Chain A
C-alpha cells in the first residue's frame, strides 16, 4: 500500500489525530501523528487487515527543532512487504508520549534508548530506565543544547 492510501485510511479513522503528510523532503515521505494518539494508531496499523505493520524496524528519538523533540517510527510489514515512516512531535517543555511497547515488543528497548539519549517520557513503557548510560547520569546527551558535565561521580569527563 502506498503512503497516500495509508494516510487517507488513517485520516478517516482517527481524524485530527493524524497530522500532515510530508512528501516534499528527500528521501521518503512520512506522516505526523499526534503524540497522545500514537498507541491507538500503532495498534490500528498493526491489526488492520490491509496494513499489517507487524514489525517495528526502528524507533529513533530526535531533537527535532527549537521547541520539539520527535519520535520516528520506521514500520514495515513482513506479510505485505510495505513500509511506513511515522513521526510524532513531542514538545520539549513537557516531553510526554504514549508508549507503543505493548503493540510491538521491539519498542520497549528502543523507547528506553530514546528516553536515555533524547529524554522523552514514554507513558506506559513497563521499564523506563536508562539503558546505555549509567543510571545516575544527568541529562540527555543527544539534545542539541546538551552540555557535557565537568564531572561524573568525581571523575573528570572531558579529557
Chain B
C-alpha cells in the first residue's frame, strides 16, 4: 500500500515529516468547526439560533474563541502536582492524535499502514486515560478526582466491548490492517461489513449480527469519548466539570481539542470497520466517484455523519449513572458481543 507522499518525495526523512501535516491541519480545522457545528446543532435542536455574530453564521466564532483562550492566563492552583498537571492535557491530545496515524483517509493516503493498525489504534487511544487520570489526580480537587476515577473505570470497561465487536470484523477479514480492511469492502454498500462484508449470498445470515456489532461498537466508542449519555467524566450537574475543573486557557482548550479529535477518530474507526471506509457507496458503478480525492470525501462524509449522530444523541438524552453505565457494559454489551463473536466464528467454520 503506497502513500502518495512516498511516491512524490521518495522514502526519506522529509516525507515522514510531511505525512502527518495534512492530518494535523485536518484535526485542528475539524475541531474548530466541530465546536461550532456542535453549537449550531444544539441550537437547532433546541429551537435557538446559535452563534451568529461573528461573520456569517458565526463562522469565525471558534477561531475567536481560541484567540481568547490563547490570551487567557493559565491558572495553576497552588497545591497541584505541577508537572502532571501541565503534562496531562498534552498526553490526552497526543494519544488521540497518534490514533489518526492508522486512519485510512484514502487508498493513497494513510499515516502508517501497519499490519497491526486496529490493534495499535485501540492501544494508543486508551493511553489517553492516563492523561485524564493524571489531570484528575494532580488537580488536587475532589471533583477532578471523581472525574478521573470514573473515566478510568469507564474507559477500561468499554475497551472490552469495543475490541470484541471490532474483532468480529477482523475474523471475517483476516487482517488488522486498516487499509486492507477498507480495500476489502470494495464494491458498493452491500459489501460493507455492516452488511456482512464481501461474500456470497450465504452472508445474509451475518447481517443481523453485524448490524448489532456496529451499534455496539458505536455505543462503546461514545462511552470512550465520554459523550452524553456517557459523559460521566464531565457530568456538569454532579461533578461540575470533572477533570476539567481546574484547567483554564489553552490547557483547557487542549482537552477540548482532544475530545473533538477523538470524536472523529472513533467515528473513523467505525467507518473503516463497518461502513466501508473510503469506499464509495456506489461501488464501481460510477468509477469517477472512487478516485482518491473522492475517497477522502467519502471517508470524511461518513465520519462526519457519525460525529453528527454523536451530537444529536448528546442533545437529546439525559445522562446515565455510573453504576448503570457499568451494568450496561458488563451485563449486556459484553455478553452480546461474545455471542456475536461465537456466531461469526461458527459462520466462518461452516462456510
Report if A and B touch in the complex (beta carbons < 8 A).
no
